[in-house]
């Protein structure tokens, strides 16, 4: 399939009602308002395609960018590719889901995430914290840099309440991910969660709630041992 063919298909799948919902959730124009389930029908046909994913992302259309993340060949993505994607991911669903998925499942996720969390732009910083959350959920504990992650927990404790809105949200997600998936740091993550308490995030009038990290971790643990994820894409 070619970019133009897929864009025409996406336009036909678009819905004004879905578009209104997504706008409230921080998705920015241009986009058609395509349900993820419809994007996955295209994903099943394409499977993985490095060039097509880059072409779709470059359209700047949020539906196409989301699809790009689903079909990306993560191992082929270069640092330059990922940096371009992080820079251009101005919609919340792309900056906090699509780009982190591809980065975390590729070769450079942890390395780039440590750079992105120091970026001055809110959407790039949020991408960094989301990528870190995905990395710790995917990688075996013996492949993680435990001391660096421990330092990051301390950083979150000290800065979360003074950070920009979407960064607060993704930092909270990082604590949850560490507490849920990184056994050596589970207790420290819960301690951090208890110290920071509730995190205020402006959800733009939607019904979405920011979870209490300590409660979320406790619920995950109550269900029994938690296995690492095989993929973070959904």
- pTM score: 0.96
Could you tell me if 177 and 119 lie in one domain? yes
Q: How far is CA 73 from CA 52, 69, 106, 169, 190, in A?
A: 10, 9, 8, 28, 35
pLDDT computed for residue 225 by the predictor = 83
Residues 66 and 145 in one domain: no
Number of domains in the chain: 2
231 shares a domain with 143? yes
Q: Which residue has 């927990």 as its token pair?
A: 153
User: 26 φ, ψ to 5°?
Assistant: 90, 15
Q: Say yes or no: 116 and 189 in one domain.
A: yes
Domain that holds residue 9: 1-72
Supply the pLDDT for residue 126.
98
Q: What is the pLDDT of residues 19-67, one digit of tens each?
A: 999 999 999 999 999 999 999 999 999 999 999 999 999 999 999 999 9
The b/e string for 60-72 (b: 16+ C-beta within 10 A; e otherwise) is ebbbbbbbbbbbb
Residue 224 in this model has a pLDDT that exceeds 90? no
Each residue's pLDDT tens digit, 64-109:
999 999 999 999 999 999 999 999 999 999 999 999 999 999 999 9
Residues 60 and 103 in one domain: no
Where a domain ends, among 26, 48, 72? 72
What digits encode the pLDDT tens for the residues 155-213?
A: 999 999 999 999 999 999 999 999 999 999 999 999 999 999 999 999 999 999 999 99
CATH of the domain at 130: 1.25.10
Q: Do 166 and 212 belong together in one domain?
A: yes
What pLDDT, on the 0 to 100 scale, is given for residue 117?
Answer: 98
On whether both 59 and 150 belong to a single domain, the answer is no
Q: Return the pLDDT at 221.
A: 85
- Looking at the fold, whether 183 and 125 belong to one and the same domain comes out as yes
Please tell me which residue, 1 or 177, carries the higher pLDDT value.
177
The pLDDT value given to residue 102: 98
Residue 13 has pLDDT above 90, yes or no: yes
Residue 140: Cβ within 10 Å count: 8
Quick one: which of 103, 108, 95, 104 has its CA closest to 167?
Answer: 95
Of the pLDDT bands very low, low, confident and very high (cuts 50, 70, 90), residue 116 is very high
Q: Are residues 192 and 115 in the same domain?
A: yes
Among residues 53, 72, 91, the one where a domain terminates is 72
- pLDDT for 21: 96
Domain end marker among 49, 72, 95: 72
Residue 58 and residue 149 in one domain:
no
pLDDT band at 130 (very low <50, low <70, confident <90, very high): very high
The answer to whether 217 and 193 have CB atoms below 8 angstroms apart is: yes
Note whether 102 and 211 are same-domain residues: yes
């Amino acid at each position: 399939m070619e970019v133009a063919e897929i864009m025409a298909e996406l336009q036909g799948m678009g819905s004004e009602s879905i578009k209104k919902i997504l706008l409230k959730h921080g998705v920015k124009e241009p986009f058609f308002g395509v349900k993820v389930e419809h994007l996955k029908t295209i994903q099943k046909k394409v499977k993985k395609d490095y060039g097509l994913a880059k072409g779709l992302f470059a359209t700047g259309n949020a539906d196409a960018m989301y699809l790009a993340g689903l079909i990306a060949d993560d191992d082929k993505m270069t640092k330059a590719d990922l940096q371009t994607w992080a820079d251009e991911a101005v919609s919340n669903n792309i900056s906090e889901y699509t780009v982190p998925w591809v980065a975390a499942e590729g070769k450079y996720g942890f390395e780039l995430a440590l750079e992105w969390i120091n970026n001055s732009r809110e959407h790039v910083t949020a991408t960094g914290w989301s990528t870190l959350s995905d990395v710790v959920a995917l990688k075996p504990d013996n492949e993680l840099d435990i001391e660096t992650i421990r330092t990051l927990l301390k950083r979150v404790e000290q800065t979360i309440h003074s950070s920009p809105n979407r960064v607060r949200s993704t930092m909270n997600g990082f604590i949850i991910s560490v507490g849920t998936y990184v056994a050596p740091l589970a207790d420290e993550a819960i301690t951090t969660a208890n110290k920071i308490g509730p995190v205020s995030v402006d959800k733009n009038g939607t019904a979405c709630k920011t979870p209490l990290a300590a409660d979320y971790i406790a619920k995950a643990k109550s269900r029994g041992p938690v296995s690492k994820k095989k993929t973070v894409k959904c």
